[in-house]
Structure 1
């Protein structure tokens, strides 16, 4: 036995206590992954000598291995808190532009509208085309319009779902017998607001007049005989049904469009009139009262961001004050062939290394990527009870190695004192 055995044991036990202390200190750190100290013996041998000449010379710390087991998920109720349930890491862009990876999903919006971590790193995700709803394949920093409202969108299509009464008489009436009075155009009518490029609402009226078997003329205004000259409206098209009361696309006017003039409600240099398509394909003609089930359009006024919600598949849904809720982005996840090869750089972040391999990006729920839990955080995976037991074991090992040095010192003193 020599001093180096005990010294190596003291160093190893001290490093083990450092790792245990670091784990205990981070027992409440969101997304923290515990580490453990792994030891290896050291053996001295002579080159070319037989196996009987090898002897141990102590211990060394072979590795400090990270344990990427799942931490408990705690519900917080904060919409910007996100936990990963399963494999994967959030990809973030650090202030210096470099990439890092984290399991801590306690995100926030800064004054610029960027989704960031506590140390200012930007969360990466796939932007979504607000027209098609399709996410891009190249991750970008997630940012939302907090400083200015979103731009208004001009209406392009109005979709009508309604029932026209199959029992209705022709609007022109009949001289009889029996005498059937004309049906006022306003009897079967509805209206909807559409939006111009400035986000100003323009009302569009729709009136229906029965004109022959299963045929209805569509108007956008009433006649005005008091006007000079008198106004006699012309239909913009016809809606035709088959014998079962189902919309007949081949006989109906398709596409049916109405030219909207924004000057009627927007006097401040309004945009030019534009065509809006009216989709009547969901309309029916059944023997029940005229009823409008749904009347929708694809335009909207400008609006301010009011809230953000993140779904299990990472889709970021933004709600605005104009009533629009749309997908703005999808949170990106990254995974590695060997997560234990990642290098911890502090701030709940890791960076890739040669041992970890390059990051593989994907979307939550795809392949072996985990799913997200909005309004929740992943707790540290440190087991405090186990760490306290490990600390006592490490302390005993430290004391025992100190005792070997003390014993070796006594042996050396005995040799020196020989007469």
Structure 2
């Protein structure tokens, strides 16, 4: 295959992957706690035809070399864990994180997942769960006769029950943070899982040791910037079109050689 055609083909694949990333960002513009992805590119290995600094003659050294690139690829997609806007909902069990940290969620297989989606609810047993029914970790039980639920900035959960003037503390929400949150594995369902790249979770009280505080009656919106993503979409489209023109030009050159030589 003509090397130029192959190089342009890798460009098409890379831009197609970037377009998929942009499309996923736009599709999740209203997903609670969603963090936008960014495609990371790298050039492929070079064919080193002539080494820079080699001796051209006994007394002359080559100032530059001759290296031919073989294309490009998407080497990673990186989550940008910047703060999303906090939207007031007024729901007692809607909790947003202001700063660093993740809620801990117990999954059906017994492992712990991590999320920024704090739209919690209560199941039939009074346990606080996510919208998918996964229990918050550590578990939080709301009494049947609870009238009001209050969640403090440090995650302290108190309720008022009939016949008692003083609020009753029933538990505390804890947060987990990671050395490299970009290394977390997105699993869908607004959940992440721990990986070797993310490091082990450091669990603590909200507002302490670098952890963010929690805000009751609010949710963190997606951090996707629509205007930025639309610009990225146009840029990706133009880059894709340019690579198709490279293929067309290379094909015309080969056709000229075939017909005239």
Alpha-carbon distance in structure 1 between the residues aligned to 2:47 and 2:147 = 71
147, 150, 158: which one aligns with 1:309? 150
Alpha-carbon distance in structure 1 between the residues aligned to 2:127 and 2:148 = 14
Alignment of 1:198-209 (within 5 A): none
Alpha-carbon distance in structure 1 between the residues aligned to 2:141 and 2:158 = 12
Counterpart residue number, 1:12: 14
Alignment of 1:7-406 (within 5 A): 7-45=9-47, 50-51=51-52, 52-124=65-137, 140-146=138-144, 304-323=145-164, 324-406=166-248
Alpha-carbon distance in structure 2 between the residues aligned to 1:45 and 1:322 = 81
Alpha-carbon distance in structure 2 between the residues aligned to 1:327 and 1:393 = 53
- State the 1:53 CA deviation: 4.1
Moved more, 90-99 or 343-352: 90-99
Normalising by structure 2, we get a TM-score of 0.91
Alpha-carbon distance in structure 2 between the residues aligned to 1:397 and 1:38 = 15
- State the 1:44 CA deviation: 2.1
Alpha-carbon distance in structure 1 between the residues aligned to 2:7 and 2:85 = 41
Alpha-carbon distance in structure 1 between the residues aligned to 2:143 and 2:120 = 16
Give 3-state SS (helix, strand or coil) of 1:45's partner: strand
Deviating 4+ runs (over 4 angstroms): none
Alpha-carbon distance in structure 2 between the residues aligned to 1:39 and 1:64 = 9
Deviation by residue 1:67-107 (Cα, 9 ceiling, x = unmatched): 00000001110010000000100011012211100001000
8 Å contact from structure 1 (residues 43, 54) kept in 2: no
- State the 1:333 CA deviation: 0.1
- State the 1:109 CA deviation: 0.4
Give 3-state SS (helix, strand or coil) of 2:71's partner: strand
Give 3-state SS (helix, strand or coil) of 1:407's partner: helix
- State the 1:322 CA deviation: 2.4
Return 5+ residue gaps in structure 2 as ranges: 53-64
- State the 1:326 CA deviation: 0.9
- State the 1:342 CA deviation: 0.4
Give 3-state SS (helix, strand or coil) of 1:141's partner: coil
Alpha-carbon distance in structure 2 between the residues aligned to 1:53 and 1:396 = 29
8 Å contact from structure 2 (residues 47, 70) kept in 1: no
Give 3-state SS (helix, strand or coil) of 2:35's partner: coil
Alpha-carbon distance in structure 1 between the residues aligned to 2:27 and 2:162 = 44
8 Å contact from structure 2 (residues 155, 214) kept in 1: yes
8 Å contact from structure 2 (residues 11, 71) kept in 1: yes
1:412 aligns with 2:222: no
- State the 1:397 CA deviation: 0.4
Normalising by structure 1, we get a TM-score of 0.57
- The structure richer in helix per residue is 2
8 Å contact from structure 1 (residues 34, 67) kept in 2: yes
Counterpart residue number, 2:61: none
8 Å contact from structure 1 (residues 94, 120) kept in 2: no
Which of the pair has more CA radius of gyration? 1
Return 5+ residue gaps in structure 1 as ranges: 125-139, 147-303
Number of paired residues? 246
8 Å contact from structure 1 (residues 336, 359) kept in 2: yes
Give 3-state SS (helix, strand or coil) of 2:235's partner: helix
Alpha-carbon distance in structure 1 between the residues aligned to 2:47 and 2:140 = 58
Alpha-carbon distance in structure 2 between the residues aligned to 1:385 and 1:53 = 41
Alpha-carbon distance in structure 2 between the residues aligned to 1:359 and 1:46 = 44
